[in-house]
């Protein structure tokens, strides 16, 4: 046991002496940003096995079109079919409707069936309360309407037919607005959102049967910006917002004073992308009146403007005429771009939505279940895994993190329990902390689990191996086991310490990983000094580092550089473990 460690320390001390000699000679460490010397012949980083792994590319997906017809789908879904016919080809994928948590189960099933059975995906704005019977976010969060939520979930189960039919649901839409009875209460809104999801799950509704949409209003009063209401990436499948051009009345404003794309869409789109960059955006309600302005110009501007955002995957247009006081001098506001009574509509709208990148998915198309209703099965709130529907490429480490976690080799860095009021199960939210550095104690645990499996429990610690690792230390047994397996070494010989709280470096991890893969007696071939510009052959771990790269476990910290003295992050650790131990 001592002979192996003596060799390791001797190499380490020699490296220190060589570094000291270089400093005395006037040399400085290589600058990773500097150009390589002309005589250096370094391997093309693309030739490293790890850099030959295919990187998932962004998907080329259409922008989907949705509409709200004049009333409930049970009564007017034929309007949508007529609009599709007017457009000249199947164009509309989504139809919107407005229901309540206390809607009767019969009406829920009938409304959802009216969409799906006619070839459309239902987008449900799921409100709560009326002026006569107000329901606050606190009421919902505290279980006042639990029986109604359970009835809703059971109705959805009946409609869904074991997942054959799906739906998009936006609980408590526009909750950051003053006009809802459940509004202006961000903390209870989030608790209510969690509670609805929890009860649906308890009733047997599978996660991928519903696309859960966060659908606030775009505009809000100060202090009620929609970011304050966001439930978090683990609970939301798509994001969107409501924004309308209510027009200008010439009694009090210039006729050109319409709400433009740059005023009512761009600022909120920018904020949504920043808030949840991995989520698809489906604008929950959009529309414009036609009085006192050039709506054709507005449609051209908005329906092309949203295409500037790659995450935008669709929108639902409010194709209704309704009496309202929105325009002070017009008693009726007409948002319709298609008028079924006349079978005519906006040619600008028609010309835009029937051409790419706008597109259509039929319910039987493989994209419907394979992409639209295929939420990413992540485990951590802070990983930000990319939804397939967003069309964006995922982060380099998300898959490694999930695989390391599912194999039982790594776990969360911390947990938060969301305490739901009695009547619903509490929710445990984990975080992975991908950028956090790994300590030498943590590294011992991860390596032992990778080598022996998730169910492995090391023998009890003696506390006699390292002077700074008592048997009572939380990772003592893991450290002693990893040392016995030859995967880790001491940090000093006099005293014989492990330095469990110190951070493990990239160079140290190179040695540990190769010994884990090939055994404690493994010795790599001499370094060729042709892979990493910052790892000369004189570096104490050069041979280990080059072999780690040649065996496809690392590609370095950047092209041509390894950063041997930098600490290993938890994200990097996940990638190392997956590659070293071939975790599924």
% the chain with pLDDT above 70: 87
**pLDDT band at residue 42, thresholds of 50, 70 and 90?**
low
What would the mean pLDDT of 523-545 be, rounded to a whole number?
A: 94
Asked if the model's pLDDT at residue 215 lies above 50, the reply is: yes
| pLDDT higher than 70, residue 41 | no
Q: How far apart are CA 226 and CA 275, in angstroms?
A: 9
What is the per-residue pLDDT across 8-36, written as a single tens digit (0 to 9) for each? 434 334 343 333 333 333 333 334 333 33
Q: DSSP per residue over 24-91, as a string?
A: HTT--PPPTTSPPPTT--PPPGGGSGGGGSPPPPPP--PEEEEEE-SS-HHHHHHHHHHHHHHHTS--
Model confidence over 332-351: pLDDT tens digits? 789 999 999 999 999 999 99
pLDDT of amino acid 291: 80
Strand 238-239 and strand 92-100: pairing?
A: unpaired
- Asked if pLDDT for residue 251 goes beyond 60, the answer is no
Question: What is the mean predicted confidence (pLDDT) over 200-218?
Answer: 97
Per-residue pLDDT of 136-178, as tens digits, reads 999 999 999 999 999 999 999 999 999 999 999 999 999 999 9
Q: What is the pLDDT of residue 192?
A: 98
Query: Tokens 């001592």 map to which residue?
Result: 2
Provide the β-strand partners of residue 476. Answer: none
Q: Roughly what angle, to the nearest 10 degrees, separates helices 570-581 and 440-452?
A: 30
Q: Mean pLDDT, to the nearest integer, of 280-309? A: 95
Q: Mind listing the pLDDT tens digit for each residue in 61-84?
A: 999 999 999 999 999 999 999 999
Is 50 exceeded by the pLDDT of residue 40? Answer: no
pLDDT at 498 over 60: yes
Q: How far is CA 68 from the centre of its chain?
A: 28
Kindly indicate the confidence band of residue 45, based on its pLDDT and cuts at 50, 70 and 90.
low
What integer pLDDT is reported at residue 453 of this predicted model? 97
Interval 420-465: pLDDT, tens:
999 999 999 999 999 999 999 999 999 999 999 999 999 999 999 9
The answer, yes or no, to whether residue 238 has pLDDT greater than 50, is yes
- The answer, yes or no, to whether the previous bond of 168 is cis (omega within 30 of 0) is no
% of the chain exceeding 90 in pLDDT: 80
Name which residue leads in pLDDT, 328 or 363: 363
**Predicted pLDDT of residue 21:** 36
pLDDT at 5: 41
Which among 65, 10, 15 has a CA at the least distance from the CA of 360? 65
Contact status, residue 528 vs residue 546, Cβ threshold 8 Å? yes
With the C-alpha atoms ordered 150, 154, 159, 165, is the resulting torsion angle positive or negative?
positive
| Superfamily (CATH) of domain 91-372 | Glycosidases (3.20.20.80)
pLDDT of residue 250: 60
pLDDT band at 46 (very low <50, low <70, confident <90, very high): low
Confidence of residue 292 (pLDDT cuts 50, 70, 90): confident
- 409-to-105, 287, 425, 438, 569 alpha-carbon distances in Å: 45, 50, 27, 14, 15
- What does each C-alpha distance from 69 to 4, 77, 162, 330, 498 come to in angstroms? 76, 7, 28, 22, 69
Are 226 and 220 in contact, with CB atoms under 8 Å apart? yes
Judged against a pLDDT cut of 80, whether residue 233 lies above it is answered with yes
Q: Residue 489: is its pLDDT beyond 90?
A: yes
Q: What is the average pLDDT score of the chain?
A: 90
Q: Looking at 386-400, 411-425, 489-503, which range is the least confident one?
A: 386-400
pLDDT band, residue 323 (cuts 50/70/90): confident
Angle, helix 398-406 to helix 570-581, in steps of 10 degrees: 60
User: Of 59, 62, 58, whose CA–CA distance to 315 is shortest?
Assistant: 62
Q: Which of these ranges, 5-19, 125-139, 189-203, 207-221, has the smallest mean pLDDT? A: 5-19
pLDDT at 1 over 60: no
pLDDT of residue 325: 59
Model pLDDT, residue 384: 77
For strand 496-497 and strand 492-493, is the pairing parallel, antiparallel, or unpaired?
antiparallel
Write the DSSP symbol of residue 271.
H
Q: What is the pLDDT of residue 56?
A: 60
pLDDT at 30: 39
Out of 30-39, 121-130, 146-155, 500-509, which region has the weakest mean confidence (pLDDT)?
Answer: 30-39
For 239, the token pair is 């994001």
Domain ranges within the chain, ordered by starting residue: 91-372
Can you read off the two tokens belonging to residue 101?
Answer: 């948590």
Summarize the confidence of residues 215-228 as an average pLDDT: 98
- Residue 22's pLDDT is 34
**Residue 249's pLDDT band (boundaries 50, 70, 90)?**
low
Q: Are strands 358-359 and 414-418 parallel, antiparallel or unpaired?
A: unpaired
The phi and psi torsions of 171 (rounded to 5 degrees) equal -65, 135
What does the pLDDT read at residue 375?
A: 81
pLDDT of residue 58: 66
Poorest-confidence range of 128-137, 319-328, 513-522?
Answer: 319-328
């Amino acid at each position: 046991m001592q002979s192996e460690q003596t060799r390791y320390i001797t190499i380490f001390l020699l490296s220190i002496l060589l570094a000291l000699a270089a400093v005395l000679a006037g040399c400085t460490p290589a600058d990773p940003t500097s150009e390589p010397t002309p005589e250096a012949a370094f391997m093309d980083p693309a030739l490293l096995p790890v850099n030959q792994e295919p990187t998932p590319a962004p998907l080329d997906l259409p922008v989907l079109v949705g509409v709200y017809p004049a009333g409930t789908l049970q009564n007017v879904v034929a309007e949508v079919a007529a609009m599709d016919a007017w457009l000249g080809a199947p164009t509309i994928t989504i139809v919107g409707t407005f229901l309540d948590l206390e809607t009767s189960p019969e009406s829920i099933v009938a409304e959802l069936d009216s969409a799906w059975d006619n070839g459309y995906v239902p987008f449900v704005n799921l409100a709560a309360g009326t002026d006569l019977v107000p329901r606050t976010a606190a009421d919902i969060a505290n279980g006042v309407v639990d029986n109604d939520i359970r009835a809703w979930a059971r109705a959805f189960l009946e409609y869904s037919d074991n997942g054959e039919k799906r739906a998009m649901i936006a609980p408590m839409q526009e909750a950051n607005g003053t006009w809802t009875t459940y509004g202006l209460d961000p903390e209870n809104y989030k608790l209510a959102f969690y509670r609805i999801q929890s009860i649906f799950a308890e009733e047997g509704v599978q996660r991928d049967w519903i696309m859960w949409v966060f659908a606030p209003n775009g505009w809000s009063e100060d202090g009620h910006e929609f970011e304050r209401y966001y439930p978090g990436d683990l609970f939301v499948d798509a994001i969107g917002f409501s924004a309308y051009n209510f027009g200008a009345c010439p009694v009090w404003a210039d006729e050109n004073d319409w709400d433009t794309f740059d005023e009512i869409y761009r600022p909120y789109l920018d904020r949504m992308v920043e808030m949840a960059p991995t989520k698809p955006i489906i604008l929950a309600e959009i529309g414009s009146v036609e009085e006192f302005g050039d709506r054709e110009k507005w449609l051209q501007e908005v329906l092309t403007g949203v295409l500037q955002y790659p995450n935008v995957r669709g929108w639902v247009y409010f194709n209704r005429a309704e009496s309202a006081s929105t325009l002070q001098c017009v008693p009726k506001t007409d948002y319709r771009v298609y008028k079924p009574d006349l079978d005519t509509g906006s040619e600008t709208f028609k010309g835009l939505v029937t051409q790419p990148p706008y597109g259509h998915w039929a319910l039987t198309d493989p994209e419907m279940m394979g992409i639209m209703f295929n939420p990413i099965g992540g485990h951590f709130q802070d990983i930000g895994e990319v939804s397939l529907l967003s069309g964006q490429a995922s982060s380099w480490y998300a898959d490694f993190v999930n695989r390391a976690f599912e194999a039982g080799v790594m776990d969360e860095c911390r947990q938060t329990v969301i305490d739901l009021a009695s009547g619903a199960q509490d929710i445990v939210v984990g975080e992975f902390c991908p950028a956090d550095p790994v300590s030498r104690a943590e590294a011992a645990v991860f390596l032992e689990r990778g080598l022996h499996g998730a169910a492995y429990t090391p023998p009890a610690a003696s506390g006699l191996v390292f002077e700074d690792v008592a048997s009572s230390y939380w990772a003592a047994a893991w450290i002693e086991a990893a040392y016995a397996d030859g995967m880790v070494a001491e940090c000093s010989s006099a005293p014989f310490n492990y330095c469990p709280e110190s951070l493990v470096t990239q160079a140290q991890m190179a040695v540990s990983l190769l010994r884990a893969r090939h055994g404690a007696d493994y010795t790599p071939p001499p370094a060729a000094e042709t892979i990493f510009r910052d790892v000369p052959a004189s570096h104490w771990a050069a041979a280990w580092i080059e072999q780690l790269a040649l065996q496809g476990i690392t590609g370095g910290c950047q092209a041509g550089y390894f950063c041997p003295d930098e600490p290993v992050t938890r994200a990097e650790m996940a990638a190392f473990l997956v590659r070293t131990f071939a975790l599924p």
